[in-house]
A and B are shown apart, each in its own frame.
Chain A
Amino acid sequence: GQQVMQIPQYQHVQEGEDFTTYCNSSTTLSNIQWYKQRPGGHPVFLIQLVKSGEVKKQKRLTFQFGEAKKNSSLHITATQTTDVGTYFCAVRPEETSGSRLTFGEGTQLTVNP
């Protein structure tokens, strides 16, 4: 099955520090999605990356898709307490029909005010 590894598993930062989480796949991906789950909540879609080398920004969040379409990163600049939660990547292998959706283990971010 699809193997996707997400690191780190946990990250504790002081408010104002930057944060990055990485998602790495053993196979080429058709695209990659990122989700955020607030404590006690459900995952909510953030963004989808499709093209090799793609970079997208949402305010303080920067998303990158690797040139080989096997890895991706989410970077948050100057974290705020509202950034607390778990960030997941989700992938669909390029060779499948596209219905299966597999999530990484997530990175749990805590922000100390």
Chain B
Amino acid sequence: DAGITQSPRHKVTETGTPVTLRCHQTENHRYMYWYRQDPGHGLRLIHYSYGVKDTDKGEVSDGYSVSRSKTEDFLLTLESATSSQTSVYFCAIRSPQGGRTEAFFGQGTRLTVV
């Protein structure tokens, strides 16, 4: 498996509190992604990064912000958590080099907002 770790793996937080999820990679891959997974919705893209300090919104970016100050770390922040943000969050990394540019996923973070 690719060197990608997510932290924390599980978190329970209260509505209205800020939450930051961390994705760390040791592969030096250029692209990093945050997805959320909910029953019936598959994997939905929240934000992605195509380089240090280069990020863009995905399809469900409202209520989320991201930062990438160095290649290996991509942070996802929920400024004020809501119950609708209860989900499993996956980070993924991908390299544009080579003929096969698949995404490698972290183990996921299960976030519960109560």
Contacts and interface: CB of A to CB of B under 8 A. Distances in A.
A98 B101 CA distance: 10
Nearest to B91: A42
Q: SS class of chain B's interface: helix, strand, loop or mixed? A: strand
A99 B32 CA distance: 9
Contacts of A42: 90, 105-108
Interface stretch (B12-20, B34-42, B76-84): B34-42
Interface residues of A, number: 23
Nearest to A10: B40
B103 A45 contact: yes
Nearest to B105: A42
A44 interface: yes
Contacts of A6: 42
B100 A48 contact: yes
A35 B104 CA distance: 10
Interface string A1-27: 100001001000000000000000000
Interface of B: 30-31, 33, 35, 40-45, 48, 50, 56, 58-59, 90, 92, 94, 96, 100-108
Interface of A: 1, 6, 9, 33, 35, 42-45, 48, 86, 88, 90, 97-106
